[in-house]
Amino acid sequence: MKIRIGLVEDHLHLQKSICENLSGFDEVELVFVASNGQEALEMAKEHQPDLILMDIHMPVMDGIAATRRIRLNQPKIKIVMLTVFDDGDHIFQAILAGANGYLLKDARPSKLLSAIQEALEGGAPMSPQIAAKTLLLVRGQRTEALPEKNDFELTKRELEILDKLSSGDTYQQIADKLFISPKTVRKHIEHIYEKLQAHNKVEAIDIARRNGLLPSLTAFFMMLFLS
C-alpha cells in the first residue's frame, strides 16, 4: 500500500521540485498539493493523507497554524515541516503545534523519503542543521536558572495539565488521560492562565518552559539526541 502524501507549499518552483522528487518513489502517492494553510485544512479533510509536508510562511494561513488545526481535528495525520528556516522560535512553535518532524527544503530526495517513513513509524525526523539547533535549545533550557520553588503556586494537577497541554494534547485527550471531564480541564487551564498571567496556550507554555515547569519538553528533546 502506498504512502498517501499531501504537500503544502506556496512557491510554484518549489512545489514542482518537491513533486518531482516524490514522483521518483514507488512507495509514495501525492494525493494533493495546497498553496496555503486554509487550503491544506480543506484538502486534508477531503483526502485523508497519511502525512503532510508543510511549509511555514504562506499567505491566508501559515503552516504552524494549519498544523495546529489539523493535529486537533485529524490527529492521525503526521505532519513534517519542510522549510528554509532553522531558527529556534520556528522549531519550538512547530513542535508545540504538533509537528512530527522538521526538515530543510534542500534535503535530498532519499532523505525526504526516509523522513516520511520515520515519521510514520513514530519517529521525529530532523535535518542535521535542525537537530544541531534543537540541541542548542536543550542546552540553553537546561542552563536556565530554575526557581527554587513553584513561585506561581500551580497545584500538582495544574502542572500535570500544563505538561500535557505542552505535549499537544487536546482538552478531551487530557480529560481522558487524567480521568476528569473536559469542563474540569478547561477550568484548570483558566486558573493556569491566571496564575501565569498568560493570555493563551502558547504564552502559558512559553512562560512555564522558561521557568522550568515543563519536564516533558526537555525529556522529548533529550530523547531525540541521546536515544
- pTM of the full predicted structure? 0.62
The helix/strand/coil state of 227 is coil
Q: Is residue 5 within a helix (H) or strand (E), and if so which, with residue range?
A: strand 3-8
Q: Walk me through the domains of the chain, giving residue ranges and CATH numbers.
A: 3-133 (3.40.50.2300), 156-226 (1.10.10.10)
Residue 25: partners with Cβ closer than 8 Å, 6 or more residues away: 109, 113
Would you place residue 227 in the very low, low, confident or very high pLDDT band (cuts 50, 70, 90)? very low
Contact 2, 31 (CB under 8 A): no
Quick one: average pLDDT of 70-84?
Answer: 91
Q: What is the phi/psi pair of residue 203, to 5°?
A: -65, -40
- The distance of Cα 35 from the centroid of its chain, to the nearest Å, equals 20
Quick one: average pLDDT of 27-44?
Answer: 96
With a pLDDT cut of 90, the percent of the chain lying above it is 45
- For residues 182 and 199, what is the distance between their CA atoms, to the nearest angstrom? 19
Query: Which of 66-75, 97-106, 127-136, 213-222 ranks highest by mean pLDDT?
Result: 66-75
